[in-house]
Amino acid sequence: MKILCLGDVVGPAAVDRLCNVLWKYRKEHQIDFVMLNGENADAGNGITKATAQRLFAAGVDVITGGNHIFKKREVYRYLDDEERILRPANYPAELPGKGDTILDVCGWRILVINVQGTVFMDALDCPFRTVEKILERNAGRYDLSLMDIHAEATSEKIALARHFDGKIDLIVGTHTHVPTADARILPKGSGYVTDLGMCGVFESALGVDVDCIIQKLRYKIPTKFELSDGNVTFQGVEFVKSPQTAGAEFVTRVEFS
């Protein structure tokens, strides 16, 4: 099983480009499963049902979310109805959607977990205990497990990854939009990277026009963020998992346009 995990997709231009290139990339690299963080897919953050459906048609198998997943209220019912789109599991249970799903792909039952960090972010339920409960509830129901940790602090992502090392096959971080250089196999066998990076305009400030960010940070005044124009780059990692081994066989960074 070869898995491609892509970082936060930022804005309609990145979605358009992904729709043009992903299936070709999948075929050339023999990708069996694609996970993408989609919480910034639409203009002004968030994701709509229409955009999610475009991403699925483009070759994405599961969409994970984060702190912007509830930005577009029109997606709320879709979060309840569609098994392939997730929001962080440690948000209150009363909210739309779910934080884990099991998908059948190429004869594999793949458990995907989406959880959000709490350091420098909203005070949600404990991500450690939330994920432990998910693993306990789904014990024996899956062949491979994958987790997206949507978090600000690298230390929290690493702590979560080391806690679940050997219990979850593939663990990736999202949210900062900056790829980290630590893609590796952890001591107990889990594939890991602290942050996948971003699917968006590389010559930007996390996908946003640089001048907007300079004005905001220099003058400390309210500033409307505009998405940057330019060439779109896709950043992430590829994992390989075989039925004979626990965890990942290898993990490597990828970047394409």
- Residue 50: what pLDDT? 96
Q: How many CA atoms lie within 13 A of 11 on its CB side?
A: 21
The CATH code of the domain that includes 70 is 3.60.21.10
pLDDT tens-digit series, residues 209-254: 777 788 888 888 888 777 777 788 999 999 988 766 767 777 888 9
- The Cα 152–Cα 173 span in angstroms is 9
C-beta neighbour count of 72 within 10 angstroms:
18
- Per DSSP, the three-state class of 144 is strand
What residues of the chain score a pLDDT lower than 50? none
- Residue 52: what pLDDT? 97
pTM to 2 decimals?
0.92
Number of domains comprising the chain: 1
- Residue 205: what pLDDT? 67
Q: Which of 29, 68, 150, 175 is catalytic?
A: 68
Containing structural domain, residue 143: 2-256
For residue 145, the one-letter residue type is S
- The Cα 240–Cα 110 span in angstroms is 13
For residue 21, the one-letter residue type is V
- Residue 231: what pLDDT? 85
- Apex 38 CA angle, 131 and 87, nearest 5: 30
- Residue 207: what pLDDT? 67
175 is an active site residue: no
- Residue 62: what pLDDT? 98
